[in-house]
Homo-oligomer: A and B are copies of this chain.
Amino acid sequence: MRLEQHVDSHLVSPPGRRLQAVVSLSPKASRAARGDDERGVQLSLPSERRLRNPVRVDADQRLEIGRLGPPGRLPADASHEGQASRGGGGRPRAGRAAAQRRMARRGFWRRQPRHDDRARDHAGEHDENRNDEEGQTAPSSAMIAALRRRVVHGRLKMPQPSRRSQLIPFSPIRTMFRLADEMERAGGGPVFRLHVGDPDFAPPPVVVEATAAALRAGKTHYAPTAGVQELRTALAGKARARNGLAASTEQVIITPGSTQALFATLEILFGPGDDVLLPEIYWPNYVQETMLLGGRPIFYPLGPGYQPDVGALPQLVTPRTRAILINSPSNPTGAVFPEATLRAFYELARERNLWILSDEAYEDFVFRGSHVSPGSFERDLPEEERRVFTLFTFSKSYAMTGLRLGCVVAPSLYTATLLRKCQEPLVASAGMPIQWGALPALTETERAGVARMKAAYQRRRDLALSILQPAGMADYVPEGAFYIMADVSETGMTGDEFAVALLREERVAVAPGSGFAIQPRFTADGSPMAEPSPTGAPEYPTNPKARHRVRIAFCVSDEELGEGLRRMVGFAERHRAGAERPPAQRAVRRPAKA
């Protein structure tokens, strides 16, 4: 049977710069494309020549693991990321995924030898109807010519999505969510989830109960844009007492999480064509947000222990620079910047007339000395001479990631007014019940719970070091947060290769370092040097400093962390032994076809 008899294909133009085709692989999928829940498989058809390098927009749950072929870059993100990690779930749809794997197995759209079959077999998975579509081949040139004719005839003139939305990178952290989920669903027991920065603790019971009470008491109407006044006042008090900020209630803007706080703040700190200084190893949202807002990230170098090279900072500042972002304690490195470093940042900002955005999501988890808020350096200045925006969140300190609550402390009333004004079209406000529910978290009583979590993270950090250091995989000591960037260079693998192979062989999920080090390039006028991709995001170069790193998060029990890390070290030892083999070969246990 010819493929053409099976497929329902037509050009799509969303990414605009390339031809694309939707190929639905079975009559069922073809019907489904009319409104059912099953989706067709979308692959790029830029030309016949490039046909063997397909990508997909689809979000089929099992497909991705089949695409993790050659050790190399992680696949583009897809839409189920993390969905089942905390009980989301949903059954994979075997029929079409299986069909696609069948095609993949035949080398239909392979570029390189694949070894995903091994993983699938390893997982004990079988195609129930492996042989029912024999004889398939690549789409013929006649088909492609027909697809092209449709475009030439202008029948599919479709609007283009904005370049900004097409050009920001995916956050690769969540790709590991999905891969781990897929692996668990495929059977074979649980996965050690060392890739997730989501505390394994529960929110304080008092928060749960106060939120439920607020719901029942009818606190279900619009909250003020800037937040419930009582919570703002409590947070201002906390920022004065614990962070040393000169914060009034009016300077506190409550946000649905500090991700959103960061976006709103960046929105007011710079405009299109401006530059923002970011750490070169960073939380991926920083670059996504900077690019969505038309800015250009400029990366400041990090030296040993991921400490900033403050001497290198001044030369990065140009007339286009508007702001410096500081994230101490840091995600993903766990580095805590000493006060002298923070002061150097502050002085540079003052000299060169820049804003500072201080993301202090991990303020409560500092293991040596105490947390320093750069905003405290200017507490005695008149408000209109202050320049530090400080971001806090309930997510980490109180294990409330899914409750979406954070805040910005703006340096002045004017900037607070702008923030509040912008929040109205951005989100209207944070949720009402959770604002009432979060109030009791700020009492002194609840500090004991935070202290217990801090002790747990510190204990796990020590445990991680005790396993990684003897193996030569930890070359610094994270002093805060709950992460370490482990060094996998002795395996010869990149972090991406390491993470995928480790998940397959040992069922241990870690986050590849490259995801925290994407470095898009820009033209002189500040436009990203990239083109939209049918996957949803272009591939960008990454900082070599993160190339052989993986991020470990201490958000599982001590036992799980210990066992996962021991497996990882064992895995690394085995692969170090065979380090002569080039990486592309090493992970391949069974020769690929193609």
For residue A285, CB closer than 8 A to chain B, the reply is yes
A223 touches B162 (CB 8 A): no
With most chain B CB atoms within 10 A of its CB, the pick from A87, A415, A422 is A422
> What's the Cα separation between A558 and B552 when bound, in Å?
59
A263-B426, A285-B425 as given contacts; A220 in contact with B164, CB under 8 Å: no
A256-B256, A402-B433, A422-B165 as given contacts; A89 in contact with B267, CB under 8 Å: no
> What's the Cα separation between A11 and B382 when bound, in Å?
10
For residue A212, CB closer than 8 A to chain B, the reply is yes
Whole-angstrom distance between the Cβ of A503 and the nearest chain B Cβ? 19
> What's the Cα separation between A38 and B383 when bound, in Å?
13
B222 touches A418 (CB 8 A): no
The residue on B at minimum CB distance from A406 is B428
B35 touches A250 (CB 8 A): no
Partner of A382, one of B22, B90, B413, B426: B22
A296 CB contacts on chain B under 8 angstroms: none
For residue A487, CB closer than 8 A to chain B, the reply is no
A88 CB contacts on chain B under 8 angstroms: 223-224, 228-230
A81 touches B225 (CB 8 A): yes
A contact face: mostly helix, strand, loop, or mixed: loop
A267 touches B421 (CB 8 A): no
> What's the Cα separation between A130 and B481 when bound, in Å?
54
A270 touches B12 (CB 8 A): no
B198 touches A208 (CB 8 A): no
Partner of A536, one of B230, B418, B432, B433: B418
A to B CB contacts below 8 Å, 21 in the list: A10-B382, A11-B384, A14-B384, A38-B248, A58-B250, A80-B226, A83-B229, A85-B221, A88-B230, A159-B387, A162-B270, A170-B421, A212-B215, A220-B400, A220-B403, A222-B401, A292-B422, A292-B425, A403-B431, A414-B536, A421-B537
Number of copies of this chain that the complex holds: 2
For residue A257, CB closer than 8 A to chain B, the reply is yes
With most chain B CB atoms within 10 A of its CB, the pick from A86, A198, A380 is A86
- Cβ proximity bits A10-38 to B, threshold 8 Å, 1 near / 0 not: 11111100001010000000001111111
Whole-angstrom distance between the Cβ of A471 and the nearest chain B Cβ? 30
A404 touches B256 (CB 8 A): yes
The residue on B at minimum CB distance from A211 is B215
For residue A216, CB closer than 8 A to chain B, the reply is yes
A35-B246, A35-B379, A161-B269 as given contacts; A208 in contact with B202, CB under 8 Å: no
> What's the Cα separation between A401 and B431 when bound, in Å?
9
A14 CB contacts on chain B under 8 angstroms: 384, 412, 414-415
> What's the Cα separation between A434 and B437 when bound, in Å?
14
Partner of A87, one of B159, B219, B269: B219
Additional pairs, 9, CB under 8 Å, beyond known A88-B229, A163-B271, A292-B422: A14-B412, A88-B228, A159-B269, A159-B355, A162-B270, A165-B422, A221-B402, A256-B427, A414-B534
B159 touches A384 (CB 8 A): no
For residue A156, CB closer than 8 A to chain B, the reply is yes
A220 CB contacts on chain B under 8 angstroms: 202-203, 208, 399-403
For residue A249, CB closer than 8 A to chain B, the reply is yes
> What's the Cα separation between A39 and B246 when bound, in Å?
12
- Cβ proximity bits A230-267 to B, threshold 8 Å, 1 near / 0 not: 10010010001000001111100000110110110001
> What's the Cα separation between A59 and B434 when bound, in Å?
24
A171-B424, A416-B79, A424-B171 as given contacts; A158 in contact with B536, CB under 8 Å: no
> What's the Cα separation between A84 and B82 when bound, in Å?
39
For residue A294, CB closer than 8 A to chain B, the reply is yes
B399 touches A162 (CB 8 A): no
A216 touches B221 (CB 8 A): no
A165 touches B79 (CB 8 A): no
A78 CB contacts on chain B under 8 angstroms: 417
The residue on B at minimum CB distance from A264 is B165
The residue on B at minimum CB distance from A83 is B224
Partner of A90, one of B39, B229, B413, B536: B229
Whole-angstrom distance between the Cβ of A433 and the nearest chain B Cβ? 7
List A82-102 residues whose CB lies under 8 Å from chain B.
82-90
A402 CB contacts on chain B under 8 angstroms: 219-223, 429, 431-433
